[in-house]
Structure 1
Amino acid sequence: MSEILLVLLAGAAAGVLNAFGGGGTFVALPALVAVGLSPVTANASSTIALVPGAVASGWVYRRELTPVGTVSTTALTTISVAGGGVGAGLLLALPAASFDAAVPWLLAFATVILAFGRRLSRALSTALGRQLSMSSRTVLIGQFLLAMYGGYFGGAVGIMMLALWSVGLGLDTAVSNPMRVTQLAAIYLSATALFLIASDALNAPLVLAGMLTGAVAGGFAGAHLARRLSAKLLRGIILTTAVTMTVLYFLRS
């Protein structure tokens, strides 16, 4: 029961963080590893569990979607679905040991992007003396690569999407957040379809159900709460969580 409570709370926290702006993986993955799942199975399980929370958040934001440049929402979502499936396939096809070794570094990379991504975006725009304007094809290629990363690991992929759209198209991150949530759901959905068929995630049904239940509640509540908190506070919460979990994972390794 203590393990179920742990994953329930971790799922709720992950759902809230994803609704805020990303970072749910930083909580979900370590919690699942802590209750005995292998890193690969934990990663698959966290993706499956976070899908309903992402969909719940997307439902809250459904009337606030804005296009990403000239790319249609349908095209962007299709690319996200395809990339998420490819990334999930790579996770299952590559040796488990390679993912085990990569996890701390993936967490660290995602944390750095989370901490400095927006500053790098502004510095690049300043150095060029103008705002970049990516073509629709470039946006879709970038989205496919990010979706692959999201299907394989997923840490801070939402932050990376916002950074790409901000640098390449000059989109405001607050305005783009509803689309980010929607694309996260698309990535997770295709990855989940593969994980349910080919991974060991269903071998621990109570653990998975506990995290899934928490993630749904957290995703729905977090989307409403995110509208009331300042962007600075939201970013501080996510970054603190990311740094803490990254350090703990390196210590565990």
Structure 2
Amino acid sequence: MFSFVLLFFTGLIAGAMNAAAGGGSFITFPALIFAGVPPVAANASSTVALFPGSLSSAWKFREHIQPFPDISMPAMAALTALGGIIGGGLLLYTPAASFSHIVPWLLLTGSVAFAFGRQTGNWLRQHVHIGAWVILAGQLVLGVYGGYFGGAVGIMMMATWALFGLSDIRVVNANKTLLVGIANVMAVVLFIVAGKVYWLQTGVMMAATIPGGYLGAHYAKKVDPVRLRRAIVVFNFGITVAFFIKEYFRG
């Protein structure tokens, strides 16, 4: 009973985090592990649980979705979908023991991207100019990462697009939400077909992410965004350290 209460409140918090700043998977994935779900299934179930929030956010931002400069949106969407399929497939074929060893490094990658992705993108934009083909190749790689794990993939996309000169925050957020959702839906279909979703735990969490997202969007306007991001960064690195200790430093 306690584990389901934990999953419900975790879903509330994750939905609020994703609506306000992102990083919801950093709380849903560990909670599912704590509830006894195996690592690969926990990652798959976390993606499914957060998926309705991605859809609702994409619908909310639909008016601001615009093509990229010199790149068609269908091309970006197709590469993201392909990456999501590849990433989801790679997850399904990763042995549980191997994935457990990889998880701390995935969390670290996501934590660093969440903490420094925007600053890095802005700095690189001032010093580096890249062509459309690099953005397309990068989008495929990000689609793979999104389908495989996905922590902070939205921040990674935004940092990459900044190199291409896409700076309108409304357009960036809208395009990010759409393309992250595309990667997720590809992975979600694979996870469901493969039977990797723990539906009872996922359902409890999913039911909570919807009101959590609404509350997060409402109260995010009243919270200092800098302090909110700092708090999430500290939490993300704390979770990362805990997984490193669990996997590598416990005899």
State if a TM-score over 0.5 links the two structures.
yes
In structure 2, distance between residues paired with 1:146 and 1:39: 21
83 and 43 in structure 1: CA distance in 2 versus 1, 3 angstrom threshold: same
Is contact 2:45-2:199 (8 Å) kept? Answer: no
Partner Cα distance (2:42, 2:199) in 1: 12
Alignment partners' CA distance in 1, 2:239 and 2:24: 11
- Give the CA deviation at 1:231: 4.2
In 1, are the aligned partners of 2:88 and 2:144 still within 8 Å (CA)? Answer: yes
Aligned-residue sequence identity (percent) comes to 39
Structure 1 window deviating more from structure 2 (19-28 vs 113-122): it is: 113-122
- The change in CA–CA distance for 1:172 and 1:227 in structure 2 (over 3 A counts) is farther
- Cα separation, 1, equivalents of 2:99 and 2:68: 32
**Aligned-pair distance for 1:237?**
3.8
Instruction: Find the counterpart in structure 1 of residue 152 from structure 2.
Output: 156
SS in structure 2 at match of 1:168 = coil
Give the partner amino acid of 2:200: L
Distance (whole Å) between structure 2 residues aligned to residue 134 and residue 62 of structure 1: 26
> Residue 182 in 1 paired to residue 166 in 2?
no
C-alpha separation in 1, matches of 2:236 and 2:55: 23
Task: Give me the whole-angstrom Cα distance separating, in 1, the residues matched to 2:13 and 2:73.
Answer: 28
The equivalent of 2:7 in structure 1 is 7
Contact 2:84 2:146 in 1 (8 A): yes
Deviations 1:50-99 (A, max 9, x none): 11111112222222223332333333222222211110000011222221
Q: Residue 214 of structure 1 aligns with which residue?
A: 208
For the residues of structure 1 that align with 2:39 and 2:17, how far apart are their CA atoms? 21
Distance 1:139 1:186 in 2: 17
Q: Per-residue deviation at 1:163? A: 0.5
Looking at both structures, which has the greater relative contact order when contacts are Cα pairs under 8 Å and sequence separation is at least 6? 1
Query: Pairwise CA RMSD of aligned residues?
Result: 2.1
Q: CA–CA distance in 2 between the matches of 1:96 and 1:172?
A: 41
User: 3-state SS of the aligned residue for 2:150?
Assistant: coil
**Deviations 1:193-251, CA, capped at 9 Å, x for gaps:** 000011431xx322110111112222344345445655424432432331222122223
- Structure 1 unpaired stretches of 5+: none
The 10-residue stretch of structure 1 (90-99 or 243-252) with the greater mean CA deviation from structure 2:
243-252
Q: Distance in 1 between matches of 2:45 and 2:148?
A: 12
Partner of 2:129: 132
Aligned to 2:82: 82
Aligned equivalent of 1:107: 107
Structure 1 length-normalised TM: 0.88
Number of residue-to-residue matches in the alignment: 247
Partner of 1:169: 165
Is this contact kept in 1: 2:19–2:216, CA < 8 A? yes
Contact kept? 2:85, 2:186, Cα under 8 Å: yes
Q: Matches of 2:28 and 2:50 in 1, distance apart?
A: 9
Distance 2:228 2:206 in 1: 23
Q: What do residues 147-188 of structure 1 show as CA deviations (whole Å, max 9, x unaligned)? A: 100111111111100110112324244541122112111111
1:7, distance to aligned residue in structure 2 (A) = 1.0
Q: Give the Å deviation of 1:134.
A: 2.8
2:15 touches 2:216 (CA, 8 Å); kept in 1? yes
CA–CA distance in structure 2, aligned partners of residues 237 and 62 of structure 1:
29
CA distance in 1, matches of 2:170, 2:39: 33
CA 1:226–1:209 in 2, change beyond 3 Å: closer, same or farther? same
User: Which has the larger displacement, 222-231 or 208-217?
Assistant: 222-231
Alignment deviations for residues 8-63 of structure 1 (CA, whole Å, 9 cap, x no partner) = 11122222222234211101100000000111010000011111111112222222
Displacement after TM superposition at 1:119 (Å): 2.9
Q: Is the 8 A contact 1:158 1:184 kept in 2?
A: yes
Quick check: 2:125–2:164 contact (8 Å CA) kept in 1?
A: no
